[in-house]
Structure 1
Amino acid sequence: MDNGQAEDWLLDLAQQHRLSPSQRQIVQRMLGMFPDVAFLSTVEISRRAGVSQPTVTRLATALGFGGFPEFREALREVVLGSPPHVPAPRHSAIDQECANVAALKRVIAGDKLAMSAGWLAESLPVGVVGLRASGALADYFAYFARRVLPAVNVCTDAGAVDDFLVQLRGQGASAVLFFAMPRYPAATVAAIRQARDLRMSTVVITDEALAPFAPDADAVLVAPVGRGLTFDSHAAAVVLAISLLDAVAALDPQGTQERLDAHEALVDRWIY
């Protein structure tokens, strides 16, 4: 097998597993080491890749192998002959995102999204929570939600989320939207449970239906993440979030139009 095919095999394998950014960087560096990488020790790979030896060992485990020797044996099989299994077709980051967005069709047309839209539309104010990597998604949703909803409160601070939820409930909120993208912050998981304890409906946008906190959510809306680059891409989550907001707005078309008109009246003040 030539080096290009061997590199494709390693990339395909990496895309099938959830790797940390540092582990993805190691994979990228290993691509330039074929065919030698199949015959190097963890010490030699770590030296060439500029990482620690345990980091290389953890990469092998993250890729589904029992340890580095098993991973190296698979690499040797790929370099010397046939791959140990038939890899999935290689997809570019763009191809993967297109597939992720296409997977939303069923979610957007489903009962869970309609039910979630109803809960958020009835809540006054609406709560939005997104911590760490999910903070940008929460701010993005809240920015547009304020154009069509009378009151939107957002929290992106893990240290303040407990007080935020208590105050939100005290203000009369009946529903909270959570963004929970990998790696799932412990504070997000605890906040979902706290919101339910406060008797607020919990809607969670996350990357997979079997996320460990899924049983604590009233509705889980799945938006797969792109894992083909160093950092996760949340393109599908953005589309799902705005689709959810569109469904919320559609429940009160007259009120939505009035708020949009009021917003448009202010545009000339901040558009250059």
Structure 2
Amino acid sequence: MNEGAVKVLDLFAGVRLTPTQRRIAHCLVEHAGKAAYLSAAEVAGIAGVSQPSVTRFAIALGYEGYPALRRVLRELTGGADGDRGQDHNALQGAVAAEAAHLERLREQLERLDDVREAASLLIGSRPLPVLGLRSAAPLAGYFGYFASKVHPDVRVLDAGGTSLLDRLDQARAAGAGAMLALVLPRYPRESLEAIREAKAMGLAVVTITDSAVSPVAEHSDVVLPAAVGTRLVFDLHTGPMAMAMVLLQAMCDADPEPVQQRLEAFEATASRRNIFQA
């Protein structure tokens, strides 16, 4: 996500959007460079919504209409993708963009309400299913590895196919009350289907995804956005990984005594079994 798109995304922070409005917001973020110069009808055509929906969207953000919103978009995106970091090569530029994403995440974490709500939901779920398919599978495994040190029953769901929903059924039958979903571009259809099924089962869903207007946001109880780097052939997931570890820290803070007991028990076991090189 380039700097202009990040600035556009900030316009929607803290605003409760309808599914149709999320489509419009996603369109403006994805086409940040040119959206500021399109008419309401043209934006509607790209987003697949009606022109009045675009007008209502602008009003929902606090503007008199789409022309007023478009003026703000022009101010935000004008020159945003210019010569910043022109002395860097392409690989340095990609890393610099990741640093900018982490800085934005740092600013986002000044408000911890969503993180704390998510932590409270997840630490109390027995078991705790963690969904991550395709590109999100390694991140789900990474989170699950460390979460298992402080949570008694973490179940990583990192493979799709016909057994995925069976495993989700089993987790619910065993008492699960919430699920963590990690869903990254290009948003696997199976992930969205699993989230919808989890909601139908009565599970609360916490989602770490790349933006607040991700396609999975409308199906989640709590969304924790963290931008994905797009300047290399394959995406960089530094931001989502940082968010996952922040969430795990918040889970530990939400229930400190049992967490400390489990950590001490693990260290004692690791020492007895000589698991790690001294």
Q: Secondary structure at the match of 2:149?
A: helix
Q: Rg larger in 1 or in 2?
A: 1
- Cα distance between partner residues in 1 of 2:160 and 2:189: 9
Q: 5+ unaligned residues in a row in structure 2: which ranges?
A: 6-30, 36-77, 86-92
Which residue number in structure 1 is paired with residue 166 of structure 2? 163
Which residue, 179, 183, 194 being the options, matches 1:180? Answer: 183
Cα distance, 1:252 vs. partner?
Answer: 1.6
CA contact (8 A) 1:107 1:222 kept: no
Q: Secondary structure at the match of 2:185?
A: coil
- Cα distance between partner residues in 1 of 2:205 and 2:127: 14
Cα distance, 1:165 vs. partner?
Answer: 1.1
Which residue number in structure 2 is paired with residue 115 of structure 1? 117
Q: Secondary structure at the match of 1:193?
A: helix
**What does 1:1-272 correspond to in 2, within 5 Å?**
86=79, 87-91=81-85, 92-108=93-109, 109-159=111-161, 160-268=163-271, 269-272=274-277
Q: 5+ unaligned residues in a row in structure 1: which ranges?
A: 1-11, 18-60, 66-84
Superposed CA RMSD in Å reads 2.4
User: Please, what TM-score do these two structures have when normalized by structure 2?
Assistant: 0.66
| Cα displacement string for residues 38-60 of structure 1 (whole angstroms, at most 9, x for unaligned residues) | xxxxxxxxxxxxxxxxxxxxxxx
- Cα distance between partner residues in 2 of 1:135 and 1:16: 29
User: Please, what TM-score do these two structures have when normalized by structure 1?
Assistant: 0.67
Query: In 2 relative to 1, CA 121–96 (structure 1 residues): closer, same or farther, beyond 3 Å?
Result: same
Give percent identity, aligned residues only. Answer: 36
- Cα distance between partner residues in 1 of 2:119 and 2:82: 36
| Cα displacement string for residues 173-224 of structure 1 (whole angstroms, at most 9, x for unaligned residues) | 0000000001110000111111100000000100011112211111111010
CA contact (8 A) 1:107 1:221 kept: no
- Cα distance between partner residues in 2 of 1:88 and 1:206: 27
- Cα distance between partner residues in 2 of 1:88 and 1:267: 52
Count of aligned pairs: 198
Cα distance, 1:88 vs. partner?
Answer: 3.0
- Cα distance between partner residues in 2 of 1:245 and 1:94: 25
- Counterpart code for 2:82: A
- Cα distance between partner residues in 1 of 2:125 and 2:151: 10
- Counterpart code for 1:237: P
- Cα distance between partner residues in 1 of 2:4 and 2:104: 17
CA contact (8 A) 1:114 1:247 kept: yes
| Cα displacement string for residues 143-193 of structure 1 (whole angstroms, at most 9, x for unaligned residues) | 000011111111101113211111110010000000000111000011111
- Cα distance between partner residues in 1 of 2:108 and 2:199: 23
Cα distance, 1:128 vs. partner?
Answer: 0.2
